[in-house]
């Protein structure tokens, strides 16, 4: 048992090592780049929106294990969801990683619960989400600062 076991769960380590949906989407409809100037992490999100729904999601870029795994799981989670559902999900996810009250069942995203003990890493977990929200809103870039 190590202190960091609740942060670096097996699933997170696996998504870091073998990220899902990490490639360029040729026919995306929305994209945005997320940048964390503090650590230099760059995560770009590309999505295909069909009406109000996300039909496809991919990411590119580089970052730490937490931001890479978060982006990877994000792309899996948001497929098929509409804008309103995604906004709600991000709100709940944000509450989870910052340690605010969250009763909601976040499914796979709940593995990021360990982040709340590491305030310096919250921005790593939320970088791809900020990029996603920027993309949906039609912005090109976002920064965690």
Question: Which residues, in sequence order, are CB contacts of 1 under 8 Å at separation 6+?
Answer: none
CB 24 → other proteins: shortest distance, Å? 20
CB 4 → other proteins: shortest distance, Å? 5
CA distance 16 to 73: 10
Residue 59 has phi, psi (to 5 degrees) of -140, 155
Q: Does 116 bind other proteins (CB under 8 A)?
A: no
Greatest Cα pair distance, the chain, in angstroms, is 47
Q: Does 13 bind other proteins (CB under 8 A)?
A: yes
> What's the DSSP call for residue 104?
S
Kindly tell me which of 19 and 91 has the beta carbon lying closer to other proteins.
Answer: 19
Stretch that binds other proteins, among 9-17, 77-85, 104-112, 132-140 (CB under 8 A): 9-17
| Sequence-ordered alpha helix ranges (H) in 18-110 | 65-78, 83-98
CB 77 → other proteins: shortest distance, Å? 22
Per CB under 8 A, the list member of 9, 48, 65, 106 interacting with other proteins is 65
Stretch that binds other proteins, among 45-53, 70-78, 115-123, 132-140 (CB under 8 A): 115-123
CA distance 3 to 72: 24
Cα 144 off chain centre by = 13
- Positions in the binding site for other proteins (CB under 8 A): 2-4, 7-8, 13, 16-17, 38-42, 62-66, 68, 118, 120-121, 124
């Amino acid at each position: 048992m190590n202190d960091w076991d609740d942060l670096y769960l097996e699933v997170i380590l696996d998504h870091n090592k073998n990220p899902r949906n990490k490639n360029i989407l040729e026919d995306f409809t929305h994209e945005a780049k997320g940048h964390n100037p503090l650590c230099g992490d760059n995560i770009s999100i590309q999505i295909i929106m069909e009406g109000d729904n996300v039909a496809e999601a991919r990411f590119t870029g580089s970052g730490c294990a937490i931001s890479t795994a978060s982006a990877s799981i994000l792309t899996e989670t948001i497929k098929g969801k509409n804008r309103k559902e995604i906004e709600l999900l991000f709100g709940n996810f944000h509450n989870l990683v910052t340690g605010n009250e969250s009763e909601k069942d976040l499914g796979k995203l709940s593995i990021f619960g360990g982040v709340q003990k590491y305030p310096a890493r919250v921005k790593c977990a939320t970088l791809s989400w900020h990029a996603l929200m920027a993309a949906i809103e039609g912005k090109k870039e976002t920064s965690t600062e």
